[in-house]
Structure 1
């Protein structure tokens, strides 16, 4: 039986938080995507639960942070419990769980199943992407010859549909207080990988014909620590395991421990350690140190681990306080280990994310957060490459940025987990014990890293800051290849660090005075942002600079238009926002350049682009300029990536630097390239006909294996381009059209001879004259395309000869770049496109006849 074959832009293997975050990006950006997961159902309880500040900011950019905020338990304080000199537990300290002021959100906890539900709902709202559960990849093939063409399908994967029984993981069926409770051991690092067993079972089953072949442009493995995708690529995880074994219980506790609703780090004198995480719906999660494997041993025997065993360990640690429970929601166990992948991608076509490339202990609440932030980083980059907005080179920054974060995470977790698992030192002479003061300091310093706010991406083609990209990243060279490397002027906005997520402060909408956090304006919709801080617009110097920037942004060849497809609004790829220094009452929105509040013929002016740093009626003053370290007398501009990380800081009106930055990785859109090519031909005296414009379009479409344009497409296209118009190439001249009387046409021959003499044209080249503008045999004028501000005819009123520009001109370079975005190599339009233009070498009123 022939297998069915399908084609997809992105294939996601694994539907946990990392895979669903990526699918969410794909749904927002309109990318053809499939998501498969070998398990038959989503997570309904247990697993990861901690959500850090940065993750909530990301959720807010997708418009579901409030759902999480309302359902979750908020973590505000950490209590440290240590043994006193008599070995008795006592509360030794209290510290803030989230560093005050670093974000408008604080850490919360909510189990993974609810997070997956919110992501699934978000995906459903924006696309028809669904998770195909009980679907297992069984074979993988990669065609290296197709890897450099982003429009091709180098990946072939065979998918197998499993039965419900095959897709259901095996449970331990262990009793928790007399009740069998679902466990997570099958996902634990104590459990062996069951993927190969599932494949063998599926091949032998009666459903062996339930297979499909999928060809993909890109594939992302979000399939956990036992990643099948990673194994197909031949990549490995590098690092070590410890001898520490921890159990996890999600229970409704019955206890006299006073801080059971606080996050607690508890060190006993010699019975081990416990971390208390108060959760939603009266639940409490306990991370409980169990035992050590024998020296040189491997994994612990998970068959001996039960909920009752974990509880007894907790009771010993918490003594003299008591602990029991009547209801257990979930349980598991794991062995502490820290590993990071040696490679995050195969030729920027197959990627790994989440636990597939980094594993660590769960006590710092990083697993789900870092995993989702991996694919949050990757998602918009994939979408831009698939949509041909950006060059393939930006995908290389995924490994550089996220592998470095994984390396930092492993280093942090290595120190933190050992401090947590170690026995408290009895005195300064106890070298084997752990200093509780050192543990407290590590906890406090680790809070900034754990929050996700401290992520600082190194210099690259999409982060314009000084230094070496290899040193600041994971060693991958992702530096800009631009002839003029753009560097930020960090001093202009001292508190908007390049490479970090942009901090958020309150601004007011200029049109309606409503206060907004700046981050609330930066939705995850795939758009870059240029945020202009022009300072005080009542300062005439500032206003003049701001207006000149507006003029440059408004031009037909500005980077806003060059990189935006004609079917999208002007802010479809790069959105321009303004935050001026006020006062709000002294500035009128409609007095500002139109480009800063674009007009739409059906929707009117855009009132949500201009904001002000001013006093609000009910929520105080954001003091944005002060908090960002921007001088209101000088201003600044900031380029922010689609994932809210800062790419560039520069002068408020430094358009040229902005343009240079984008030119190193953005792709000129095909229709915009056509406009520029037509304008260039017109400038050179070769105003193309409508059929020539049609030929350009068809060549571009043919090069990406698409169809042809319709009969009236060219005319409709020209009508939609404000820079272009159609007109006659020359006036109709009846006497010239007759071309019968030698005396009448003698003047034309004289003109040819004069042109030969003037420009040194050989007789052998005279046959070219008819195609370069002399047109002695044409009876009727032709309809051609020219620039919109030209006169009534393509041929100008003044005597002017426009020499043919060599094919290596910027116009041809532009078209070659467009060709490269569709196909490897370029479309040499200088040879393929007929340029039957008309040299403007004679005056309208002095035609020979």
Structure 2
């Protein structure tokens, strides 16, 4: 649909327009603010903090939040979430014994030990959104904030300009709703905040139908409320009933089921002994409950509802949805009648499931109800100009703790790619990897949730039962949950070979599908670089290596020259690297704008394997300890990966990464922390690094930035954008 040409309507330009200020949209906004890319983010909600919704932060999400924090500043969300959130330590299983009585049948760690330095925490999504917004303001120098309440009405793509990297090829008509008093979220006639209205398609269309005025033909339209935003790119992070997705003509493939669950956020009054542990509870005949202890005294209960009235208008004789997962019984009863779902109904079902334990509630904060379904979009973009993320392209049950986490990881994947393209550093081709990388994750998520949600909703098998009645084998359920924890952590995402991931030097994948290189036999290419301690050569301070790889849009080239004391020839090779990296026709200079800081696009870091007391910083070549335009030395590009610390034990990153201390290695890490390539430590390996960047980076010799004055006050340089500056 073409945007109106009414001359009275305001027009504006921005590189990226984000529609939807939930966690997925806010993650993209954080990336763009950190990288210094012009963008806007709009949301139709007027309220900034919304009760309920998602509440769990998995390991990888916490790692990512940490990656936006540097030594001189801290991203608000990471520090606050880790301190305020309830840490999930243990998962307990309860199921019927031989007599049908509810007993504890097992315990496992909630997070797999050693998989990350963080464990899952649970915290209100409203806090997370608030912290994101504060960080966006911080990174953008207070120039960007979520614009509320704004509603998108039209979107059009100039397909003839789609391949022009500098073109504002997308137009979006938006309306400011602040004068309409129509932007408050529905609560569906309940006195307590709830999410019932969010679960059902069609509400948005009904709610805002009267806003789609024809501005060309309506002489009474108030044009001051409308704006046409000209964008290079649009991101639709606008939820399960995404307006953006519908404008692109993309349907969701999948299914809905007859399993109905209710959710309560409240303070329980109970004699159940594991109420402050995460629990999966299967009763003999009354259904199932998942217990999620939250911050303060709150506990979230996911409660299976045995019988809920259905809306007769939605009853069907066959499944409403077909797709990757097939359930012949889906949707035969119709959609649940929201008006019949009350906190009292949900609690009554929970009380039956948890007998003989007592359960009452006080301080109810939020409730909702939903039908389990799994759906995924077959496409995540159109013409690499308009993208969708999060619930807009995959929906599932909430019990796996994946909704907010996978949604944020979608845009963590996309954000740096948009930044590189908007800044003219990389070709449009890299944007195609968003769908290819994240669609696979979404499909894995749907398969995982399909299995877990059905095992959770199914009737349990009674141990040693003589009846022939089938049920869910609780041992299999425990195993599935344990295996699912690895997936749910977000740490095993593995991106396939692409323009951004080069697995050419890897051996055959192992049983877990991991592709390792001979040169770093414990670093899987395509997965996130797992952290290990390294020691700053200058002062001996231990750093987690990933804390040196901030999410600021830059690539990292990690040079591991081995033990340069035991093998002097390795230091000679490193000295040869100096001339290579200073040459204008090699990657370090070639893809960095003239007069920009030398590591503002590709950051080269050296990590040797010699005890730092046996070498001096000036034994190493200039590129490992460079000076800037004021003569200030950068001491944080040279580290020892092997040796003792005063307070944290011995360090051996070479052993952890499977790198030979004589042969060394070179590792390329993408701006999102995923390993792009591993190659050998020699000039040939450095040429391979150059060939990798040549595939998608744009030479910058024609882009000249103003020269910096030696008198400039740049004491705030650590918190300002660092990409291509």
Cα distance, 1:410–1:596 mapped onto 2, change above 3 Å: same
Question: Does 1:184 find its partner at 2:189?
Answer: no
Question: Does 1:457 find its partner at 2:473?
Answer: no
- Equivalent of 1:173 in 161, 166, 189: 189
Describe the SS at the equivalent of 1:570: coil
- Do the aligned partners of 2:505 and 2:678 also contact (CA within 8 Å) in 1? no
- CA shift, 1:145, in A, is 0.1
- CA shift, 1:229, in A, is 0.3
- CA shift, 1:186, in A, is 1.8
| Structure 2 equivalent of residue 802 of structure 1 | none
- CA shift, 1:250, in A, is 0.4
| Structure 1 equivalent of residue 348 of structure 2 | 312
- Do the aligned partners of 2:235 and 2:387 also contact (CA within 8 Å) in 1? yes
- After superposition, the C-alpha distances for 1:315-349 in whole angstroms (9 at most, x for unaligned) are 00001101111210111111110000011000101
| Cα distance in structure 2, aligned partners of 1:202 and 1:232 | 14
Residue range with higher mean Cα deviation, 426-435 or 150-159: 426-435
- CA shift, 1:432, in A, is 3.0
| Cα distance in structure 2, aligned partners of 1:152 and 1:106 | 43
- CA shift, 1:282, in A, is 1.0
Question: Does 1:491 find its partner at 2:518?
Answer: yes
Cα distance, 1:217–1:196 mapped onto 2, change above 3 Å: farther
- CA shift, 1:193, in A, is 3.0
Question: Does 1:593 find its partner at 2:621?
Answer: yes
Question: Does 1:410 find its partner at 2:415?
Answer: no
Describe the SS at the equivalent of 1:524: coil
| Cα distance in structure 2, aligned partners of 1:202 and 1:42 | 24
Correspondence 1:418-497 to 2 at 5 A: 418-427=454-463, 430=468, 432-466=470-504, 490-497=517-524
- CA shift, 1:192, in A, is 3.3
Describe the SS at the equivalent of 2:522: coil
| Cα distance in structure 1, aligned partners of 2:338 and 2:468 | 33
- Equivalent of 1:619 in 648, 668, 678: 648
| Cα distance in structure 2, aligned partners of 1:406 and 1:547 | 45
Correspondence 1:692-703 to 2 at 5 A: none
| Structure 1 equivalent of residue 318 of structure 2 | none
- CA shift, 1:352, in A, is 0.4
Q: Which has the higher contact order (CA 8 A, sep 6+)?
A: 2
When normalised by structure 1's length, the TM-score is 0.75
| Cα distance in structure 2, aligned partners of 1:569 and 1:558 | 16
| Structure 2 equivalent of residue 664 of structure 1 | 695
- Do the aligned partners of 2:266 and 2:361 also contact (CA within 8 Å) in 1? yes
Could you say which structure has the higher helix fraction?
Answer: 1
- Equivalent of 1:361 in 397, 404, 408: 397
- CA shift, 1:581, in A, is 0.9
- Equivalent of 1:515 in 495, 517, 542: 542
| Cα distance in structure 2, aligned partners of 1:441 and 1:315 | 27
- CA shift, 1:196, in A, is 5.0
- After superposition, the C-alpha distances for 1:739-776 in whole angstroms (9 at most, x for unaligned) are xxxxxxxxxxxxxxxxxxxxxxxxxxxxxxxxxxxxxx
| Structure 2 equivalent of residue 116 of structure 1 | 129
Please tell me the root mean square deviation across aligned C-alpha atoms, in Å: 2.2
- Equivalent of 2:287 in 272, 276, 279: 272
- After superposition, the C-alpha distances for 1:460-492 in whole angstroms (9 at most, x for unaligned) are 011001499xx9xxxxxxxxxxxxxxxx97011
| Structure 2 equivalent of residue 197 of structure 1 | 207
- Do the aligned partners of 2:49 and 2:130 also contact (CA within 8 Å) in 1? no
| Cα distance in structure 2, aligned partners of 1:310 and 1:380 | 43
- Do the aligned partners of 1:191 and 1:302 also contact (CA within 8 Å) in 2? no
| Cα distance in structure 1, aligned partners of 2:152 and 2:628 | 47
- After superposition, the C-alpha distances for 1:33-57 in whole angstroms (9 at most, x for unaligned) are 1111111112342110010000000
- Do the aligned partners of 1:425 and 1:434 also contact (CA within 8 Å) in 2? yes
| Cα distance in structure 2, aligned partners of 1:234 and 1:367 | 23
Question: Does 1:322 find its partner at 2:371?
Answer: no
When normalised by structure 2's length, the TM-score is 0.87
| Cα distance in structure 1, aligned partners of 2:105 and 2:68 | 40
| Cα distance in structure 2, aligned partners of 1:297 and 1:547 | 73
| Cα distance in structure 2, aligned partners of 1:41 and 1:570 | 43
Question: Does 1:334 find its partner at 2:370?
Answer: yes
- CA shift, 1:118, in A, is 1.2
- Equivalent of 1:284 in 295, 299, 310: 299
- After superposition, the C-alpha distances for 1:543-580 in whole angstroms (9 at most, x for unaligned) are 12222222211223221111001232100000011111
| Structure 2 equivalent of residue 56 of structure 1 | 62
Cα distance, 1:170–1:601 mapped onto 2, change above 3 Å: closer
- CA shift, 1:141, in A, is 1.1
Residue range with higher mean Cα deviation, 520-529 or 421-430: 421-430
- CA shift, 1:94, in A, is 0.6
- Runs of 4 or more off by more than 4 Å in structure 1? 204-208, 292-295, 427-431
| Structure 2 equivalent of residue 568 of structure 1 | 596
| Structure 2 equivalent of residue 19 of structure 1 | 25
Question: Does 1:83 find its partner at 2:96?
Answer: yes
| Structure 2 equivalent of residue 536 of structure 1 | 563
- Do the aligned partners of 1:274 and 1:314 also contact (CA within 8 Å) in 2? yes
- Equivalent of 1:94 in 107, 114, 117: 107
| Structure 2 equivalent of residue 775 of structure 1 | none
Correspondence 1:686-725 to 2 at 5 A: none
| Structure 1 equivalent of residue 637 of structure 2 | 609
- After superposition, the C-alpha distances for 1:219-248 in whole angstroms (9 at most, x for unaligned) are 000000000000000001100111111111
| Structure 1 equivalent of residue 665 of structure 2 | 636
- After superposition, the C-alpha distances for 1:337-383 in whole angstroms (9 at most, x for unaligned) are 00000110001010000000000000010000000000000000001
Gaps of 5+ in 2: 1-6, 70-74, 316-328, 510-514, 709-725
- Do the aligned partners of 2:97 and 2:462 also contact (CA within 8 Å) in 1? no
| Structure 1 equivalent of residue 322 of structure 2 | none
- Do the aligned partners of 1:75 and 1:109 also contact (CA within 8 Å) in 2? yes
Cα distance, 1:633–1:643 mapped onto 2, change above 3 Å: same
| Cα distance in structure 1, aligned partners of 2:470 and 2:148 | 49
| Cα distance in structure 1, aligned partners of 2:222 and 2:337 | 34
| Cα distance in structure 1, aligned partners of 2:569 and 2:201 | 68
Cα distance, 1:462–1:312 mapped onto 2, change above 3 Å: same
| Structure 2 equivalent of residue 298 of structure 1 | 334
- CA shift, 1:495, in A, is 1.2
Residue range with higher mean Cα deviation, 342-351 or 165-174: 165-174
| Cα distance in structure 2, aligned partners of 1:43 and 1:299 | 28
Larger Rg: 1
Residue range with higher mean Cα deviation, 59-68 or 282-291: 59-68
Cα distance, 1:425–1:207 mapped onto 2, change above 3 Å: farther
- Do the aligned partners of 2:606 and 2:639 also contact (CA within 8 Å) in 1? yes
- Do the aligned partners of 2:286 and 2:306 also contact (CA within 8 Å) in 1? no
Question: Does 1:655 find its partner at 2:686?
Answer: yes
- Do the aligned partners of 2:153 and 2:212 also contact (CA within 8 Å) in 1? no
Question: Does 1:391 find its partner at 2:391?
Answer: no
- Do the aligned partners of 1:166 and 1:202 also contact (CA within 8 Å) in 2? no
| Structure 1 equivalent of residue 717 of structure 2 | none
| Cα distance in structure 2, aligned partners of 1:46 and 1:208 | 35
